[in-house]
């Protein structure tokens, strides 16, 4: 079942961020745009490349008023150990949420029950806590964090311009569409 258009559920979790352990809840994902990126496991292979890529886009995402959260079913302690021992993960400045109870992974419907690990799911959430975009990739397919920037810009544009929509391949400053009877059959 798709979570797009639905409000995120409630949760409490421990996280690692910039040398500290912090508490995180669904309330932390509200009041700004958020990217929540689930991944299977710390100390793995594709995951550090994705998290490093997300860090490389972090300043741009922050400039768009967007906060970033990564989530795996590992603990916040394991996140710290991985951060301390991986060149790729050691650069991360955003919040790394631990989900050992698997509650958050279940809330976002990305838990692989057989393995007890999160799938590669990415969610873009608006300031009201509503999921605006989601994707889930197979375990062996890494993601490209630069793609989130255009999605967030489109989501922000549509939120600020009710009645307009962004067509495929839309870039900031490009033409949008205003759905209506006069547009039917003309695209």
Q: Which of 3, 47, 97, 104 is catalytic?
A: 47
Residue 107: CB atoms within 10 A of its CB come to 16
Nearest to 68 by CA among 39, 42, 29: 29
Nearest to 74 by CA among 115, 131, 28, 129: 115
Active-site residue 166, yes or no?
Answer: no
Active site residues: 47
């Amino acid at each position: 079942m798709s979570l797009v258009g639905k409000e995120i559920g409630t949760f409490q979790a421990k996280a690692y961020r910039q040398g500290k352990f912090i508490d995180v809840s669904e309330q932390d994902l509200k009041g700004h745009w958020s990217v929540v990126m689930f991944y299977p496991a710390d100390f793995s292979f594709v995951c550090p490349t994705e998290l490093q890529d997300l860090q490389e886009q972090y300043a741009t995402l922050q400039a768009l008023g967007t906060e970033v959260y990564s989530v795996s079913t590992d603990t916040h302690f394991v996140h710290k150990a991985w951060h301390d021992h991986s060149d790729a993960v050691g650069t991360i400045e955003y919040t790394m949420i631990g989900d050992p109870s698997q509650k958050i992974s279940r809330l976002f419907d990305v838990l692989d029950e057989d393995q007890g690990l999160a799938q590669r799911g990415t969610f873009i959430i608006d300031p009201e806590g509503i999921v605006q975009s989601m994707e889930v990739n197979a375990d062996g397919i890494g993601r490209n964090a630069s793609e989130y920037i255009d999605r967030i810009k489109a989501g922000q544009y549509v939120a600020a311009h009710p009645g307009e929509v962004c067509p495929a391949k839309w870039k900031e400053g490009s033409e949008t569409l205003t759905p209506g009877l006069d547009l039917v059959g003309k695209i």
